């Protein structure tokens, strides 16, 4: 490796790319204002851009709930099957098993996916010695896609996200489809609740910290939930004198492309995704997409002969090959010759040879995409605080997902952006708490609440 410095042309090309990813304070404020407006539309009527879905989870948990329940978690990288025992006093035990969902299952017929899930539950019950019981097992089903719920255990899939695209599911009740697979396979399980992962995360964290106000997922996908007074929800025809958790489905924010600062690299990724022009906010924030946006920016500089001497590789040319996890590794690479970055580029992605300047440029692009994601990811929280008039009060946000947990400085960058929008004093009252793997526990708590009713 030569230790060449960046040339003037390289510096200029890089600055242009990095600048295109910067989001000014003024722009953040515009996004938050627009977000509040979109939340109001979603609470007012069906069919708004942000769906603002009542989850049928009302009331707060106290931590004293007890009992044994099963939970499923579909929608992240793996399928998780869990057996949760709530012990009261905010304590619980959990046994869980992860199963890989193949690309074929993610994009094949829905019936195959449901049968696969039922088989996983069956083998979990057999391995854990719970299958012989005569009693029907109550299950909380975390299904992390936009589901328009009609009751605590009924809901119609609005659309797929995150690379799933099974046929025969959109417009159908996804609980009935899975319950049918259990029935056909004689598995004695009842789906007591269908739960979005953000709602599960909120409930799980609230089991120990009842003051929790929001549940957020920043992982493969991106979304949030919060408590709303149902008197504020015009489209809700049920009891108004209660509060309920709202699954915002905020990844769909601004699919009209009014305020989000989309770059050519975002547009290219979006155009080549399987849900074009949908989930644009999610696509700028979530782990599934950041690597691909970065790859597009890198290839632009290659094509301008400013990176890797104008050479790419078969691997780097393949869509989705630049994983978001590589960005985390590159961002923490503090070696003098950026050898970890060099390893990813040369050994994993087979780029022929890289100079120090090349590595520095790639690192700067990763940083720009990562910082932008974190800054944008704070906007929906600021908007919920405004909408619920909590600015200046203590506000606890339970956050799960690999991006929040592992991406370098993600939390700090979110906090900085929030401080720019709300002021440092208001920001200092906000806690972003890591709520690892909460949705299984949350689904069990919600199944328990549903069974009690």
Contact residue for ligand BGC among 197, 300, 331, 411 (CB under 6 A): 197
Q: Which is nearer to ligand BGC, 287 or 370 (CB)?
A: 287
* Shortest distance (Å) from residue 191 CB to ligand BGC: 17
Question: Of 19-27, 216-224, 342-350, 415-423, which part binds ligand BGC (CB under 6 A)?
Answer: 216-224
Q: Under the criterion CB under 6 A, does residue 80 sit at the interface with ligand BGC?
A: no
Binding string, residues 88-107; x marks residues near ligand BGC by CB under 6 A: --------------------
Q: Under the criterion CB under 6 A, does residue 75 sit at the interface with ligand BGC?
A: yes
DSSP state for residue 129 in the 8-state scheme: T
Residue of 115, 173, 197, 358 marked active site:
197
Q: Under the criterion CB under 6 A, does residue 49 sit at the interface with ligand BGC?
A: no
333 is catalytic: no
Residue of 162, 268, 363, 387 marked active site:
162
162 is catalytic: yes
Binding string, residues 236-265; x marks residues near ligand BGC by CB under 6 A: -------------x-x--------------
Cα angle: 422, vertex 427, 431; to 5 degrees: 140
Nearest to 369 by CA among 336, 339, 403: 403
Q: How far is CA 427 from CA 30, 387, 395, 403, 424, in A?
A: 18, 16, 9, 21, 5
Residue 217 near residue 377, CB atoms below 8 Å: no
Q: Which is nearer to ligand BGC, 181 or 439 (CB)?
A: 439
Tokens describing residue 195: 């739960």
Q: Which is nearer to ligand BGC, 6 or 194 (CB)?
A: 194
Rg over CA atoms, the chain: 23
Q: Which is nearer to ligand BGC, 79 or 365 (CB)?
A: 79
Question: Of 28-36, 196-204, 295-303, 354-362, which part binds ligand BGC (CB under 6 A)?
Answer: 196-204
CA–CA distance, 233 with 236 (Å, rounded to integer) = 6
Q: Under the criterion CB under 6 A, does residue 161 sit at the interface with ligand BGC?
A: yes
* Distance linking the first and last C-alpha atoms of the chain: 67
**Helix, strand, or coil here: 38?**
helix
Nearest to 3 by CA among 335, 367, 344: 335
Q: Under the criterion CB under 6 A, does residue 217 sit at the interface with ligand BGC?
A: yes
CA–CA distance, 48 with 31 (Å, rounded to integer) = 17
Nearest to 357 by CA among 289, 308, 425, 415: 308
Binding string, residues 277-296; x marks residues near ligand BGC by CB under 6 A: -----x--------------
Tokens describing residue 271: 């155009």
Binding string, residues 317-356; x marks residues near ligand BGC by CB under 6 A: ----------------------------------------
Beta strand pairing status for 243-247 and 222-229?
Answer: antiparallel
Please classify residue 12 by burial: count the beta carbons closer than 10 Å to its beta carbon, then call 0-12 exposed, 13-18 middle and 19+ buried: exposed
Cite the active site residues.
162, 197
Residues in the site for ligand BGC, rule: CB under 6 A? 75, 144-146, 161-162, 196-198, 217, 221-223, 249, 251, 282
């Amino acid at each position: 490796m030569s230790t060449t410095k960046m040339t003037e042309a390289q510096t200029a090309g890089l600055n242009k790319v990095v600048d295109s990813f910067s989001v000014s304070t003024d722009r953040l404020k515009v996004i938050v204002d627009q977000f509040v407006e979109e939340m109001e539309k979603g609470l007012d009527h069906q069919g708004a851009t942000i769906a603002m879905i009542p989850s049928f989870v009302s009331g707060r948990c106290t931590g004293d709930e007890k009992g044994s329940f099963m939970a499923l978690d579909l929608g992240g990288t793996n399928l998780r099957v869990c057996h949760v025992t709530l012990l009261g006093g905010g304590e619980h035990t959990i046994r869980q098993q992860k199963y890989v969902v193949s690309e074929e299952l993610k994009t094949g017929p829905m019936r195959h996916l449901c049968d696969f899930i039922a088989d996983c539950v069956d083998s979990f019950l057999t391995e854990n010695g719970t299958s012989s019981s005569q009693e029907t097992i109550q299950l909380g089903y975390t299904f992390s896609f936009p589901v328009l719920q009609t009751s605590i255990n009924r809901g119609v899939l609005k659309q797929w996200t995150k690379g799933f695209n099974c046929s025969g599911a959109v417009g159908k009740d996804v609980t009935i489809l899975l319950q049918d697979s259990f029935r056909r396979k004689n598995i004695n399980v009842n789906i007591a609740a269908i739960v979005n992962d953000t709602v599960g995360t909120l409930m799980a964290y609230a089991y120990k910290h009842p003051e929790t106000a929001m549940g957020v997922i920043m992982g493969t996908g991106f979304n949030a939930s919060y408590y709303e007074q149902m008197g504020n929800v015009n489209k809700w025809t049920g009891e108004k004198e209660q509060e309920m958790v709202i699954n915002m489905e905020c990844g769909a924010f601004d699919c009209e492309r009014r305020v989000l600062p989309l770059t050519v690299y975002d547009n290219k990724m979006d155009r080549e995704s399987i849900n074009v022009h949908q989930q644009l906010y999610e696509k700028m924030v979530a782990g599934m997409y950041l690597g691909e946006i970065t790859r597009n920016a890198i290839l632009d500089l290659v094509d301008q002969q400013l990176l890797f001497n104008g050479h790419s590789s078969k691997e780097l040319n393949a869509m989705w090959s630049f994983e978001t996890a590589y960005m985390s590794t590159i961002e923490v690479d503090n070696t003098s010759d950026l050898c970890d970055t060099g390893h990813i580029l040369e050994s994993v992605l087979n780029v022929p040879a890289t100079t120090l300047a090349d590595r520095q440029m790639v690192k700067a692009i990763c940083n720009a995409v990562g910082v932008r994601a974190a800054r944008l990811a704070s906007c929906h929280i600021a908007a919920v605080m405004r909408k619920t008039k909590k600015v200046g009060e203590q506000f606890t946000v339970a956050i799960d997902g690999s991006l929040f947990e592992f991406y370098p400085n993600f939390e700090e960058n979110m906090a900085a952006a929030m401080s720019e929008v709300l002021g440092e004093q208001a920001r200092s009252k906000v806690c972003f708490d890591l709520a690892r793997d909460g949705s299984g526990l949350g689904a069990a708590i919600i199944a328990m609440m549903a069974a009690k009713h």
